Amino acid sequence: MIEQSDSLGSLGLRQRDLQPDSLRPRYDVCITVASWESRATRAFEVLPPLQARWEVWRFASADEDSRTAKLRCFEALKSLRTEALERVELASSLNYERNFALIESRLRKARIVAGRPLDVLLDVTCLPKKYILFFLGSAVRNEFIRSIDFVYAEGAYSPLPDEESHAALTWTGSEGEWSSVLVPYLEAENYIPDARALVVALGAEISASVPFIERFEPMQIALISVDDDAQRINLESVEHERRLLRDLEDLPITELHTADLADVLGVARICQAFCIRHRDKAVTALAIGSKTHALALGLAALSVANLEVVCRLPSRYLSGDVVATGRVFHYTVEDRFEPRFPD
């Protein structure tokens, strides 16, 4: 990835591939997530020694296999660091209200203890999108942070067998009907319920995404797709899914965009421009694609007044593996008006 930087409202954003010399030598806290995905340890493998308090978040599991896999992941993470790791136990990832309260409480306490806004490193590789967005919104709106370094290990995805058909493949990674979660701190300031536009960050989960999008009955739609990469995803299977989008793409109210998986800045700019063109409408951003593009929607929502961010909430997640491609992306978000304190 070519290094780029720009301002998004009161925030500065810099994006590049992760390099040891692109990180601060010291953070107030470094956070990652224990997961069943084998790529969960990839970022830790390339992080240099850092002065920080280290946390590993573990969401409660509904089955023994997932619980065992997360414990194994925690032990693997411990083996990669000389620093002590604190394990933070969270409720099931579907119990987002309880977890949001705990995460915000921990952030607030760390801010009080430090006596100043925090420098945080957050590995979002295996952190669900609603938690990435809540962490960003809470940290910025409450002035808990002066900087967040987000790191993300790119994964290679394979479709999962559809248990109902015993033959077809599905990209959903979940089962059951999706409900929606409006992310706290990322709500639109000027709510106009009768005039709605949509920005949709799409992934490979087209079959589940189309009915979810249609529920909102938008007057305008911006669809943002990830540039397909054969190293990361099976292109033939994706094309089969994308056929389900044709009717939506052909509507006169729809505009189409594509962006590289790593290009958070580019996606945020697309969102900002769309919101400015439709400033007379409330714009809902649906974060149903990649984690990196979800981060972009959150940054855009912090910089424009008429954008809110909504995530999907499935009935249950499926524990399919995602292996690392080897690439790790790095995004630094800074409060441009927060003075740099001496370390």
Q: Mind listing the pLDDT tens digit for each residue in 204-220?
A: 777 778 888 888 888 99
At position 42, the amino acid (one-letter code) is R
* Cβ neighbours for 205, distance < 8 A, ≥ 6 positions apart: 171, 172, 173, 241, 288, 289
Structure confidence at residue 169 as a pLDDT band (50, 70, 90) = very low
Domain 4-157+322-335: state its class.
alpha beta
Residue 84: is its pLDDT beyond 80? yes
Whole-number Å distance between alpha carbons of 288 and 284: 12
Out of 31-45, 151-165, 178-192, which region has the weakest mean confidence (pLDDT)? 151-165
Q: Above 90 in pLDDT, residue 241?
A: no
Q: How far apart, in whole angstroms, are the C-alpha atoms of residue 107 and residue 122?
A: 12
Judge if 4-157+322-335 and 160-317 fold alike in CATH terms.
Answer: yes
Query: Looking at residues 270-279, what average pLDDT do you find?
Result: 95
Question: According to the model, what pLDDT value does residue 245 have?
Answer: 77
In this structure, the number of other CB atoms found within 10 A of the CB of residue 56 comes to 22
Q: How far is CA 332 from CA 15, 266, 270, 285, 335, in A?
A: 7, 15, 19, 22, 10
Q: Rounded mean pLDDT of the chain? A: 88
CB atoms under 10 Å from CB of 177, counted, come to 12
In this structure, of 43-47, 85-89, 207-211, 276-280, the range with the lowest mean pLDDT score is: 207-211
Q: Quick one: average pLDDT of 313-326?
A: 79
The stretch 62-71 carries a mean pLDDT of 92
Domain definitions of the chain by residue range? 4-157+322-335, 160-317
Q: Are 35 and 143 in contact (CB under 8 A)?
A: no
- At 293-313, the pLDDT tens digits run 999 999 999 999 999 999 988
Class assignment of domain 160-317? alpha beta
Predicted TM-score (pTM) of the model is: 0.91
Q: Which phi and psi (to 5°) does residue 272 adopt?
A: -60, -45
Q: 67-80, pLDDT tens digit by residue? A: 999 999 999 999 99
The whole-number average pLDDT for the span 224-229 is: 81
Sign of CA dihedral 49, 33, 122, 342: negative
Residue 156 is predicted with a pLDDT of 86
Q: Do 90 and 64 touch, CB atoms closer than 8 A?
A: no
**174 pLDDT tier (thresholds 50, 70, 90):** low
Q: What is the C-alpha to C-alpha distance for residues 199 and 308, in angstroms, rounded to an integer?
A: 10
Do the strands 196-201 and 282-287 form a parallel or antiparallel pair, or are they unpaired? parallel
CA distance 218 to 194: 10
pLDDT value at 159 more than 90: no
pLDDT score of 172: 45
Taking the CA atoms of 270, 272, 277 and 283 in sequence, report the sign of the dihedral they define.
Answer: positive
User: What number of other Cβ atoms are within 10 A of residue 326's Cβ?
Assistant: 13
What single-letter amino acid sits at 122?
A: L
